[in-house]
Amino acid sequence: MLMDISSEMIHALLPVYLTVGLGATALAVGVIEGIAEATAAITKVFSGALSDRIGRRKELAALGYGLAAVTKPVFPLAPSLGWLIAARFVDRVGKGIRGAPRDALVADLAPEGLRGAAFGLRQSLDTFGAFLGPLGAIGLMWAFSDDFRSVFWVAVIPAFLALALVLFAVREPARPEGLRRVRAPLSRAELGLLGPTYWWVVAVATLFTLARFSEAFLILRAQAGGLPLMLVPLVLVGMNAVYALSAWPAGALSDRGGRIGLLALGLCLLVAADLVLAFAGGLGGLALGVLIWGLHMGLTQGLLSALVAEAVPAELRGTAFGMFNLVTGVALLLASVIAGALWEAFGAEGTFLAGAVFATVAAAGLPPLARRQAAARPAPGPTG
């Protein structure tokens, strides 16, 4: 939560700062965001595999949070676009190092039958930070008279608080006795043990990621719709408020009623959000589209993590989350570049309509995934 307060306080303003302050184009924003997130995804696969190899998660998570914290002061100090790109890149390396070990740690700690709730709670707290960050950015932009760099300096504080919390408050559970030691997590033999159900989850998530490009384009949509600069972070505030409030209940509901149906509903909501953002005029249409976008995130992101955790052996969870984030991160790079190119060529309508098409294709992969889950589920024992 604390690291997201810091990151989103910067991220809420960065696209506008790049385009208004430094003269970057929408395509450049898409490339920067795509490279940043892809960098995080590529790093996750190695940190996740390393956490499986050494049998511990906390040290790598702490390293990732530390690297992200020490790069935060670069944002207010950066004199040019190149420095900002470098800072964003290194910050995402830190995210990549911590991401898969942290998610594997959540799966290790979660009681059987409550993984949906556990990942939903993690997502809610993570998103609550993403809600407070843009909200703080709005107040600070007012207090500092639209001085971006002063806001970036304030964002440094919660980043270092997050690092302190990881170092001194987080406790890793003891490794279960008898759990198999993994010597080469990224070997062909070990990756084969992840199983077909896991790879089907990855395939569906990849198509899904192509549909939900960087939220930077929601901010650009708000700016194009006439929202004042000081209020642009309201886009992420509104989206993340709905996201945070829905993720935990959605995860808990999926533990009782199944995950595939909620994923299908989330994809339908993404299509609706894209259509509203493409065609609805005025700030009212913008607000509706952003809120629907946040609800679809709450119904899907924690559920995908729970599906990954349940599809693989416990000793390979770090590798599984790393590979999952690698593939979806590359998809996010493609999605952000495509979105930027479509924006330059056809405007906001082309970008959001393309997202709706990809979401529809992703929904077609859910029935086969449900059948694979049912086939992999152990048969009930005899009664009586």
Which CATH number is 18's domain given? 1.20.1250.20
Asked, for residue 177, whether it belongs to a domain, the answer is no
What percent helix, strand, coil does the chain show, rounded to 5?
80, 0, 20
Residues of the chain with pLDDT under 50: 378-384
Give the structural domain span for 79: 2-169+189-376
Q: Is residue 183 part of a domain?
A: no
Distance separating alpha carbons of residues 325 and 42, to the nearest angstrom? 7
CA dist 258 → 57, 86, 115, 116, 373 (Å): 28, 42, 12, 9, 11
Is residue 276, in this structure, part of any structural domain at all?
Answer: yes
Check: CB of residue 3 under 8 Å from CB of residue 127: no
String of b and e for 213-234 (b: at least 16 CB within 10 Å)?
A: bbbbbbbbbbbebebeeeebbb
For 367, residues 6+ apart whose C-beta sits below 8 A from its C-beta are none
Contact 229, 146 (CB under 8 A): yes
Q: How many domains does the chain have?
A: 1
Distance CA 113, CA 111 (A): 6
For residue 21, what pLDDT is reported?
Answer: 64
* Residue 215 lies inside a defined structural domain of this protein: yes
In a domain, 362, yes or no: yes
In a domain, 174, yes or no: no
pLDDT at 345: 85
- The model scores a pTM over 0.75: no
Residue 151 lies in a domain: yes
- Check residue 161 and give its pLDDT: 93
Nearest-angstrom CA–CA distance, 307 and 327:
16
Rounded Cα distance between 355 and 278, Å, is: 10
Domain assignment present for residue 181? The answer is no
